[in-house]
Amino acid sequence: MSVSKKSILMLGGSRQQVVAIEKAKELGFRTVLCDYLPDNPGQYVADTFYQASTTDRELMLKIAHKEDVSGVLAYSSDPASPTAGYVAEAMGLPTNPLKAIVTMSEKHLFRAFLKKAGLPCPQTASFSRNATVEEVSHLVEGFRFPIVVKPTDSSGSKGVSVLTDLSELSRAIDHARDFSRNGTLICEEYIRKTFPYVIGGDIFVVDGKVHFWGLMSCLRDEGLGGLVPVGKKIPSGLSADDNSAVKDVLQRLVTALGVRFGELNVEVILGEDGVPYVLELGSRAGGNMIPVQLSDASGIDLVGANVLCAMGENPGDISWDSSVCEGAYATYVLHSNVDGVFRGIANSGAIRPHMYRSVIYKQPGEPVEAFDGANKALGIEFLRFDREAEMNGFLSSIGNHIWAEME
């Protein structure tokens, strides 16, 4: 364990990011936090706090110089990841190539990179947020339906629509615009799955090689079109051959991008003929506390490994593969399907012995909005089971076992 008092710049202080600030302090580092939200909880944990936008690269660089930091970490933050790479690269601090980080952060650049690298990629067309419906209709001529319309710089399925024809194209473009920061949107062919789940989770790279394989199956809310994540489970349920194919394409992608180290969030679909399509490779740890659950299942401190790598220190042996996980684990994103006032979280009793950690974001009496994405989650419930079949039985009707009580 480090006992130095070197400083680390932490970009983001949300509830999900507090664990990284706490871990950095536990490892003996002085924490400098930047977050533009005045009510972020991280400010009460960090040693020094600046209320400032983590997407303002020059301001972050100025603060990093002022605080004489030795590392930069955008833990579980898509918007801040390019900023972290920019600041670290400018100061000669540990980082992956900024070009690779930007490529992973914007879907149109990522799709173009996949094609250039000869990796599986759906037919895709990108366009400006100001494009007309007629212009976009022309771009997708020859596409096989369904098609997906989405922003190129969002996460958590925000702004995503699946269309079976062009009748809803105008609405889908408007929806994508609402969640776009960079003004570039994308249309692509929908990939027909041969495995029932999207494969998500995180991998961890050391010296250019993936050592930690935290592949999980993504749970989606079918009531919201099957697009919004409501949890993860491990083991993933992949066959040995499919697991190997997914690992192969991810390692090839990591090598092609020149990623040297760190935790990456993945999203892969097994398409027709079992071909793995990498939809996302996020240049940061996953949201909804994925690293925490993977640490529980593996016994490896992923949050600490993120901090140590950002500071240029050796994270130690982090070799693990979720396909050989002992027992079964799941997370469930706590949420409400209606607006109202939060009273608390209730459960069926039968599932209570499997609930081993609850992280609640809301206090009783606080207003709640109907769930349509991670920003409206009420918290995360962590579940552990002895057998995968038992876990799957509970997850098949999870809403009957854990629910939000509302006024």
The DSSP line for 242-289 is: HHHHHHHHHHHHHHHHT--EEEEEEEEEE-GGG-EEEEEEESS--STT
Residue in 302, 309, 325 with CA at minimum distance from that of residue 384: 325
Residue in 359, 378, 360 with CA at minimum distance from that of residue 368: 378
Q: pTM above the 0.75 mark? A: yes
Distance (Å, whole) CA 29 – CA 32 = 10
Q: Give Cα 30 to chain centroid, integer Å.
A: 26
**Angle of helix 81-91 versus helix 57-67 axis, rounded to 10:** 50
Q: Beta strand pairing status for 355-360 and 124-128?
A: unpaired
Question: DSSP label at 338?
Answer: S
Q: Does the structural domain 191-326 have CATH classification 3.30.470.20?
A: yes
Distance (Å, whole) CA 126 – CA 184 = 7
Give the pLDDT score at 3.
40
Angle at 270 between CA 129 and CA 300, to 5 degrees: 95
Give the pLDDT score at 87.
98
CATH number of 327-407: 3.30.470.20
Say if residues 405 and 344 touch (Cβ distance below 8 Å): yes
- 214 φ/ψ angles, rounded to the nearest 5 degrees: -100, 60
Residue-wise pLDDT tens digits, 140-176: 999 999 999 999 887 767 888 999 999 999 999 999 9
Give the pLDDT score at 266.
97
Instruction: Output the CA–CA distances (angstroms, integers) from residue 50 to 95, 287, 398, in the order listed.
Output: 22, 23, 40
Single-letter residue type at 223: G
All structural domains of the chain with their residue ranges: 7-95, 123-189, 191-326, 327-407
Say which residue the tokens 């459960």 belong to. Answer: 347
C-alpha atoms less than 13 angstroms from C-alpha of 197 in its C-beta half-sphere: 24
The 10 Å Cβ neighbour count of residue 12 is 28
Give the pLDDT score at 381.
97
Distance (Å, whole) CA 170 – CA 190 = 18
What's the topology of domain 123-189? Dna Ligase; domain 1 (3.30.1490)
- 388 φ/ψ angles, rounded to the nearest 5 degrees: -60, -40
Give the pLDDT score at 1.
37
The 10 Å Cβ neighbour count of residue 331 is 25
Single-letter residue type at 317: D
Residue-wise pLDDT tens digits, 369-379: 999 887 889 99
The 10 Å Cβ neighbour count of residue 126 is 18
pLDDT tens-place values along the chain, 407 residues long = 344 589 999 999 998 899 999 999 999 999 999 999 999 999 999 999 999 999 999 999 999 999 999 999 999 999 999 999 999 999 999 999 999 999 999 999 999 999 999 999 999 999 999 999 999 999 999 999 999 999 988 776 788 899 999 999 999 999 999 988 888 999 999 999 999 999 999 999 999 999 999 999 999 877 666 678 899 999 999 999 999 999 999 999 999 999 999 999 999 999 988 899 999 999 999 988 999 999 999 999 999 999 999 999 999 999 999 999 999 999 999 999 999 999 999 999 999 999 999 999 999 999 999 998 878 899 999 999 999 999 999 999 999 999 999 98
Residue in 175, 174, 279 with CA at minimum distance from that of residue 229: 279
- 276 φ/ψ angles, rounded to the nearest 5 degrees: -80, 125
Say if residues 402 and 358 touch (Cβ distance below 8 Å): no
Give the pLDDT score at 224.
64
What's the topology of domain 7-95? Rossmann fold (3.40.50)
Give the pLDDT score at 226.
64
Distance (Å, whole) CA 282 – CA 341 = 34
